[in-house]
Every structure is written in C-alpha cells, then in structure tokens.
Amino acid sequence: MASSAHSRGSVRTERQVPPARGNGGGNPPARSRSSSAKRSLRVSSDDDKNSGRVRVAVRVRPKTTEENDLDFTDCVELQPELRRLKLKKNNWSSESYRFDEVFTESASQRRVYEAVAKPVVESVLDGYNGTVMAYGQTGTGKTYTVGRLGKDDPSERGIMVRALEDIFANISPGSDIMAISYLQLYLETIQDLLAPEKTNIPVVEDPKTGEVSLPGSAIVQIKDLNQFLELLQVGEANRHAANTKLNTESSRSHAVLVVHINRSLEGKKENDASSLANVTNSELSSHHLPHLLKSKLLIVDLAGSERIDKSGIEGHMIEETKFINLSLTSLGKCINALAENSPYIPTRESKLTRLLRDSFGGTARTSLIVTVGPSARYYSETASTIMFGQRAMKVVNAVKLKEEVDYESLCRKLEYHVDYLTSETDRQQKLRENEKEQLEKKLKEKEAFLVETEKKISVKCEHLEKERNHLVLETQSLLKALNIQKSEKDKLSQEVGHLEISLKQAKQQELENLNYQKVLAETTQMYEKKIAQLIKQQEDESSRCADLEEQLSGMKNYPSGNKKSVQMQEKEIDELKGEILKLNEDAASTIQSLRARNNELSLEKELLNGELKTLKDKLLYEERKRRCLEDEIIILKNALNDDNAEYESKRPYKGDITTKSTLSLGGPANIPKSNRSRETISGQKDTISKIFEEVGLSNILALLKSEDLDVQIHAVKVVANLAAEDVNQERIVAEGGLDTLLLLLESSEDANIHRVTAGAIANLAMNSSNQGLIMGKGGARVLANIASKTEDPQTLRMIAGAIANLCGNEKLHVTLKKDGGLKALLGMVQCGHSDVIAQVARGFANFAKCESRDIILGHRKGRSLLIEDGVLNWMATSSATFSASTRRHIELAFCHLAQNEDNTLEIIRSGGIKELIRISRESSREDTRNLAMKALDSNPAFSTEIHAT
C-alpha cells in the first residue's frame, strides 16, 4: 500500500542479500525463518551461487485445431529432464537452449506455479520485493498461465489466484495488512482496472530511493480470497481485449497486479492496556524497536507481440499493436543493456520499463515465464521469444530486504498508554468527587425526607380525624335513609297486595268473558239452526200453499157447498195468499240478489276465459314459432356442417402477439388464403346474419339450454361467430350469454360442446372489458379444469387461445396465476400439437410483455410470475424445436423476461445467457434481436457471466 509521509515517519533499512540465502548476515527474523523452513521449493544449485539472477522458465502450448488441420511440423523439441529446449529451423539445423524450467504442453497449472512463482511469493512474505512476468507471442497462453480464475475447475487457476492463496495462508489477519492495485498499460497510458474512471495515471520515481509509485491509483485492502476473486473479475471485465486470427480473446494491453504486504515482526498486535504498561525506556533501544516488513509483489501479464499480416487486424487495432510492440521493444532494449552490463539503461523510453525498473536490474526477486507455440509456422516469433528469455537469464538483481523501524506503532502505543493513565487518574479523581457529592446529596435527601415524613404524619392524623367525623355523619344519614326505605317498602308491600287482588279479579273477569263468549257462540249456533228451520218451514208453507190452491180450484168446481164454510175458507185463503205474497216477495228479493251475484260471476268467468284463450293462443304461437326455428336450424345444419368442416380443415388456429384472434363457428377465423375460403366465410357470415335477424339474440341464447345436443352445438357456434364482431359482444354479455356459456362449459360432458364453447369464450376474451367479467365469474378456473380433463387438440387449442387473450391484461395476472391459468397453459404443451403450442407461446409472450411494461412504468416489482411455474426453463430448453412463428413468440417472451433484473439469477441458472446470445444473432425479427442485445448490454451480471464463460 502506498502511504503518505508522517511526522513520526518510519526509518527504512535495506540490507542486500548475500549470494547464498542461508549464509552470513541479513537473515530474516525467527518467525520468517520458521515459516520459510516449511516451504517445499528451494532455488536450484545455480541460483544458490547467484540468488539475484532472473529465473526464466519456458512453456509450450498445445497445438491448435487449425495447426493440426494444416499439418505444420513442430519447430520445438523439449528435454524437460535436462531443462533444455531445442529449436529446429529445419530438419538438419537446430539450436539448443538451457532454461531454469522447461514445461511441456501437459504441465499442470500447479506445477508451473510452484516452479516459477512460489519462490518469489515466499521471498515477498519474507520482506523482499518480487516480480512474476509472462512474455510471449499472442495466443501462446500467457493470460491462461497468469490470470486464469478457475471458477469452475480450481485446478486451472493461474499464478495470480494461487499466489494470493499462499499469501492468505501465511499472513496473520490481526497484525498483517494486504492490499492490491490492478492496472493496465493501454496505448502508453496507465489506467486503473478497479476504477475505470481513473485514466492517464502518472509514474513517479522517488529520487532518493528510486522506488516507483502510481499516485491516484486505487489501492484496495482485501480480507479474503473471495473478495480478491471478485475484484479480479471486475478488472478483467474492464481490460481491453479483441478477436484476432491468432487469438479469439487477444489482450490489447499490459496488465499489472500489484500486491502490497505489510508484516509486523512482533507477530500479534497488543491492544490491551496491560501490555502497553510494560513499554519501558529500555525498549527504545535499537535492539528492541518494533520492525515492519514492507514488500511488494508484481504479477505482470504482458500483451503478446504480433505481426499484422498473421493476426489479420485492422483499423484501431493496428494502433494498439503499434504501442504494444514499441513497449515490448523498449523492454527488450533494457534487458539487452542489463545483460551486457551497459552503463546506460534506457528505462525512460516506455512507461512499461519504468514500471518494471525494480524488477530488472533493481532490488526485486524476479521470475519470468516465456510462452511459445510448437508450430513451425511461427518459427521467427518463437525464436525471438526464446532469445528474449536467454538474455533475461543474464540479468542479476541486487535483492534487498525491505525492513523499517516502526516508530509509528511505538508512538501510538506510548500515546495510548499516556492517554490511558491520564484517563484512569481523571476517572479515579472523578469517582471520589462523585462519591462525596452522592453522600452529601443522600444526607440532604434523608433529612428532607424526615421533615417531609413528619409533616405527612401530622396532616394524615388531621385527615383521619376529619374522616372519622365524616363517617359518623354518613352513618346517621344512612340510618335515616334506611328508615325511609323501610316505610317505602311497607307501602310497596301494600300496593303489591292490592295488585294481587286486582289480578285475581281480572282473572275472574276474564273467565266470565270466556264463558260469555262460549254462550254467545252457542246462541249464534242456535240462531243459525232456527234460521235453517225457518227456511225449511217456508219451503213447507210454499208447498202447502200450492196444495191449498189446488184444493181451492177443486172446490170451485163443486156446484154446491156450504157458503159459510166457503167464506171461512176464502178468508183463510186470503190470509194464506198474504203470507204467500210476503214469502214470494222475500224469495223474489233473494233470487234477485242471487241473480245479480250470478251475473257478476258470469262476467268474471267470461273475462278469465278470454284471458285463458289469449294465453293458449300465445302459447300455441310460440310453440309453432319454436318448431319453425328448430326446423329451420335443422335444415341449415347440413350446409353449415359442410362449410364448417371445410373451413376448419383449411384454417388452423393462429394468433399473433400484436393482433387478437377471432373464432368462427366451432373454430377460428383468420385471413383466407384463397377465393374459395373468402366465399365460405362470406357465406357463413350471411347465414349467421340471417339467423340473427330472423331469430333474435335472446332466442339464440335460449337455444343454448335446449335438450337437443345438436341444437346446443349449433347455437354455440352461432354465438361464437357473433362474438367475433365487436358490435355484438356487448349485447351477448348484456343478455346473459357469458354466464350461459360458462355454465354450459362447466356442466357439459360433450367434447364438441367444450370445443365450440371455449372458442366462443376466446372471442369474448378479446375485449378488455369482457376479460375482467370472465375472470370475475371464474372463467380461467373453468378453462383450466377442462384443459386438465381433455386430450382433444382442437379443444386445447381453443382453451389456450382464450387464456392467451386473458394474458394480455396485466391487471388480471395475479388472479390468472391463482386460478391455475398459467399452469394450465404450460400443461397443454404435453399434447405436442403445433397449433396448441403456438397458442401457449402467444399467451406467455402476452404475459411477459405486459409484465415488462408494468415494471418499466414502476407499477410492479419483483420476480416474474412465469418463473414460479417453471415457464422459464421450458422456454430456455425447447424454443429451437418448434416452428418459426412459435419460436418468435417464445423469443419475444424470453427477451421481455430478461429486461427485469430480478429475473437475472434464474435466467443464468437455466442457461438463458446462451439463449439470449442466440436470439441476438439468429432471430428472424430485428426488433427481437435488438431487445436481446439490450438485455445483454444493460445487465452487468449477464456481461460478467459472458466474460467468465
């Protein structure tokens, strides 16, 4: 880490390491020696003689497919056991070179790290600066060797990751500090890969010590390996790379990872006050001053040298290649000058050589790995790389220990101890003063409490006396009130006695009234009997009068007789006549009233007969009309069956996300492909219009309840065709047609009824106002239930079309999922019918599009409802197997789901990144390709995943 100068600045001492690490002075502290003794790899015997020499290893990459196909011969022959490489110019001319390590194409990443980088990492942990660098032609595996992350396979991890693993394993988190910077040299400007906004960072050299620093670069302290991997991934994403003929991901810049390590020689820091108390003046001697090891590790991934004619680059990439080759040339000049012990080293010709000033000819321990290809096609590049490595092996660095006296730490300890003692003294003094104040305060409180208690006791005694007097008065008043209540109770008892007497009298009176009513009823019955007797007597008198008249007429025929008896009889006859006359008048009045009543009843009867006749006529008319309608429908049935069969065979149900589908009689209606289809549809519409005008909508809907199955089917077909026209939909719903269709769909067991009814509901579902009514009446649940019971592709196609139209209303999405609509759509895929799957894909596209629009407008947040039912996995794995139109719907739905960042994790898990990339390249629709590219570019997680794979 870069640190600013402090007023109590540390004193740095640099001790040059002797040739043999284990001899003489300059030994690291005991802790470093013990940790170093455990490390397995040691320098070779050659390095023991010259420990500061740059160690160089060579690694040969495997042959590429192109090289195998073109059958190029190998120009490199390896002798790993002799640490030699033989470079063959042709079959009879070759040269042999010796390196510190020679790695074949099968060498593992672990072996490369332990042989090349691990000795440098161990030196850095002991307090020395170190550099590990990869050099070679482009496409020979430098970035693979150095910067491979190995997320999926840890065995493929490169030098950067393995070096950090070793460092974490050997430092103490409590006392040691580690931080990193990650930079790139691009077009001769230094840029920060961890903070891309920082560009053109200057290179500053300390005139006294010669150390190189980069002010302004981000230095991030790291705690664990996972944090480092995340930072490294961010840096790799910001690094410049391009696709060339030699390498699909060719690095266009030099990358430098700088690892700063500060290690305390005292081991664990002492933070408690007791340890600080032991610091004495004797410890300030030079033998007991705290020391700090400040070391720095550079891991450099150089951009590969390349030739324009072989790499096939053009445009801006030529400028990049120019700067890469210039900086590598400057580095080669410096290596040559150092190898030849030249008095002038041209380090200032390039920022790369200034950055690596300490690595070549400086105080750092350096390891270089050169990478080459085996093919003779690149003989000149391979020879140049090998010669660079051979010259680098001649460079010897004066390795020095970076050790400082940590006055800052000692000063902080002393300051902390002084502050602790001062605060402890102040605390004790304050405690004594507080204790005194608290005792005085308690004494005053006790005295005040005693006085207050005495006052309260006297006041309480007075209050008790007053209360006793008050209770005496209250007792007297209560006695008076009790006497008054007693007298009132006596009065009430008297009143209760009077009331009981009155109650008995009332009961007796009621009993008498009951007896009176009984007598009155008996009297009434008696009078009724008397009236009946009088009526009977009147009838008897009438009959007797008739007999007397007959006798009178008979007596007049007698010529003789007693005149007196005649007169008496005449008198008696007159009396009888008077009685008869009176009886006749009464009978006449009674008969007249009965006739009047009879007339009234006759009039009422005539009115009722007239109304009954009218109702019968109306019923007969309706019956005849119904029979006529049924006859007409039966007559039209054959023609409709022929037209419908031909229409359905030629018109498969199709739908598009931007247009709404309509259904004809028993099937969908789309744009016809021939004149015959147009004539068929025109004839059907004319027939339907004729039936609609002659029969009426209410009568057509009434036929839906007919017991004749054929009549029901054709009535539903008529309603379905009427529903295809927007002008008829409102009337159908207002007349109760939607309720009847849903009831018929749920109650019927006939497959034809299911098919045509689902088609009619699908047509009604095209209207947004009807969609809410369908969902409110449980239409989605009914459709899903029928879909689970049937296997008929035509029925499933109609149901899928209806649910697809409902998916186009974002307000119904939650209810649609709750009622099982989405699960039913996904379940219908199992039938395997292309038309059904097309409707399913259209429904998911409608759903995803509306959901994406809601998220953009801020009306909705969270993960898509489609993901919870497994729709995403189906779309990611099956889109390529369907027809072009179905695939377009699935691609559109997938792109809309990718716009929602909350779906990112599920899309990555389902392998959706590959599908998005395929859509962006291969989709037949330009708008879908643009939508896929927008999703890939706008989501950082997608970009990271793409770079990682």
Cβ-contact 12, 403 below 8 angstroms: yes
Contacts by residues 316-320 (CB-CB < 8 Å, ≥ 24 positions apart): 317/242, 317/244, 317/252, 319/187, 320/186, 320/187, 320/240, 320/242, 320/252, 320/253
Residue 416 has a CB neighbour count (10 Å cut-off) of 14
Residues in the chain: 949
Residue 898 has a CB neighbour count (10 Å cut-off) of 27
C-alpha angle 328-334-338 in degrees, rounded to nearest 5 = 145
Helices (H), 77-207: 109-112, 118-125, 142-147, 159-170
Query: Among residues 160, 150, 198, which one has the least CA distance to residue 180?
Result: 160
Q: Which residue is listed with tokens 């007429």?
A: 553
Cβ neighbours for 450, distance < 8 A, ≥ 6 positions apart: none
137 is in an annotated binding site: yes
What is the end-to-end Cα distance of the chain in Å, rounded?
Answer: 32
Residue 917, amino acid:
I
Helix 709-723 to helix 726-734 angle (10° resolution) is: 130
| Angstrom distance (rounded) from CA 669 to CA 721 | 9
Per-residue b or e along 834-844, where b marks 16 or more CB atoms closer than 10 Å to that residue's CB: ebbbbbbbbbb
| Angstrom distance (rounded) from CA 320 to CA 326 | 10
| Angstrom distance (rounded) from CA 243 to CA 299 | 24
Cβ-contact 100, 335 below 8 angstroms: no
740 is in an annotated binding site: no
722, two tokens: 């009427």
Helix 379-392 to helix 316-339 angle (10° resolution) is: 40
Residue 272, amino acid:
D
Output the CA–CA distances (angstroms, integers) from residue 543 to 388, 539, 547, 583, 590, in the order listed: 163, 6, 6, 12, 18
DSSP secondary structure of 863-928: S-HHHHTTHHHHHHHHGGGS-HHHHHHHHHHHHHHHT-GGGHHHHHHTTHHHHHHHHHHH-S-HHH
142 is in an annotated binding site: yes
Output the CA–CA distances (angstroms, integers) from residue 269 to 173, 263, 409, 412, 806, in the order listed: 10, 11, 10, 12, 68
Mapped onto helix, strand or coil, the DSSP state of residue 92 is coil
Cβ-contact 326, 92 below 8 angstroms: no
Mapped onto helix, strand or coil, the DSSP state of residue 623 is helix
466 is in an annotated binding site: no
Cβ-contact 786, 799 below 8 angstroms: yes
Residue 882 has a CB neighbour count (10 Å cut-off) of 18
| Angstrom distance (rounded) from CA 118 to CA 342 | 31
| Angstrom distance (rounded) from CA 491 to CA 354 | 125
- Give the CA-trace dihedral at 896, 900, 904, 906, to 10 degrees: -70
Cβ-contact 710, 631 below 8 angstroms: no
Helices (H), 239-378: 273-276, 308-311, 316-339, 351-355
Residue numbering of the annotated binding site? 136-143
Residue numbering of the annotated binding site for ATP? 136-143
